[in-house]
Structure 1
Amino acid sequence: MLAALRKLTDRLIGLSAFIGTAGLLFVVGVIILDVVGRNFGHPLYGSQDLITMTMVLIVFGGMALCDRVGGHIIVDIFEGSFPAALNRALDILSALLGSGIFMLIAYTVFQSARLSQMLNLSTNLLRLPTAWFQYALCAFAVITSVAMLLRAVMLARGQTCDTHPAKDMP
């Protein structure tokens, strides 16, 4: 059961990271077109809208992968002086806390997306519906929350998160 959940979570993390990467490539292309267009007196209309909305995909699309590979900042000043059991408990607690925070982010943004949809809110120039991007943020936050919860469960069962090398970093 846990192995199947891990496999599903890994696939969702991969999908969200792929979408975030595609968003990053898109933003780079938009910026290049905008800069070249400005040079010739024809900036890309709506580039600010495109970049702003795509940043949601970039940041939250890569969040679950960042957690999976141990990319978050870790302050381990006292870790060497704590017993291994306490360090493990703190790792579990931090994963649970992170999971809860991302679930609250998802819930709050979901409520905001419903309001945006009801009020037909959109970007300034291109009139892109903001709710689309808010729903995407919700999905990415839920994926991150599930990934952190899975990490907490694995640590609680005494299993190591083999793709979480943060402890090996200097």
Structure 2
Amino acid sequence: MRSDPEIDSPPEAPPRGPAGRLAATLSRSFGVLSVLCIVAMLVLTAVNVFGRYFFGAPVRGAEEVVGFLIVATVMFGAAEAHRRDEHIAIDIVQGAFSARMRRLSSVLGHVAVIVFALAIAWTGYETVVFSRSFGVYSPGYLGAPMWVVQIPLVVGGVLLAVVAALKIVAGLRGRT
């Protein structure tokens, strides 16, 4: 049986140190949660479409829940995608660099991810605090407390920043 290098990837190196193992466990766990959000969106959308077109009775608030799940899916899955290097990268540019420049560009990329992730986490935190203090509810059918559905912004942002920081440490130690 022939393997395809585009599909088959080598097994990932196990994370080293307690912080690396904790980050890997958390990012994998939230990655699984992200997949469960996708499954929930699929099931909810299918049930909604079926109910709407066959029974004339859509699931009330389905679109609102799917919107919340989209944000949760992205925020919960971002750290695992980054940890596994499954994000978008420009390999042609990286390939033109020397080994030292590749390492430097990798570190700079991870720093950019940290800045972006912390910006999301901080603004998410401020939004959660504001929504909770003023009792903001979603304007749709559900009337869900917004601070609850905004929590993935904080959790996902912090986890992504931690994973990126650990990738910098691993890269500087020569374990990328």
Give the TM-score normalised by structure 2.
0.86
- Partner of residue 19, structure 1: 33
Equivalent residue letter for 2:160: T
Distance 1:34 1:148, change over 3 A: same
- Partner of residue 85, structure 1: 100
Give the TM-score normalised by structure 1.
0.88
Percent sequence identity is 24
Q: 2:113 aligns with which of 86, 98, 102?
A: 98
Q: 2:74 aligns with which of 37, 48, 59?
A: 59
Could you report, residue by residue, the CA deviation over 1:106-131 in whole angstroms, capped at 9, with x for unpaired residues?
00111011111122222211011111
Task: Give the number of aligned pairs.
Answer: 159
TM-align CA RMSD: 1.2
Q: Tell me how far 1:79 sits from its aligned partner.
A: 2.5
1:131 paired with 2:155, answer: no
Equivalent residue letter for 1:120: G
Q: Tell me how far 1:138 sits from its aligned partner.
A: 0.5
Could you report, residue by residue, the CA deviation over 1:77-131 in whole angstroms, capped at 9, with x for unpaired residues?
3333321101111101111111121011100111011111122222211011111
- Partner of residue 41, structure 1: 56
After alignment, is 71-80 or 113-122 more displaced? 71-80
Equivalent residue letter for 1:34: N
Gaps of 5+ in 1: 161-170
SS, match of residue 21 in structure 2: helix
Whole-angstrom distance in 2 between the partners of 1:97 and 1:78? 17
Whole-angstrom distance in 1 between the partners of 2:175 and 2:60? 51
Equivalent residue letter for 1:18: V
Whole-angstrom distance in 1 between the partners of 2:92 and 2:43? 41
1:103-118 matched pairs, under 5 angstroms: 103-118=118-133
SS, match of residue 91 in structure 2: coil
Whole-angstrom distance in 2 between the partners of 1:29 and 1:81? 45
Q: Where does structure 1 differ by over 3 angstroms across 4 or more consecutive aligned residues?
A: none
Whole-angstrom distance in 1 between the partners of 2:95 and 2:51? 55
Whole-angstrom distance in 1 between the partners of 2:162 and 2:89? 20
Q: 1:74 aligns with which of 89, 94, 97?
A: 89
- Partner of residue 146, structure 1: 162
SS, match of residue 125 in structure 1: coil
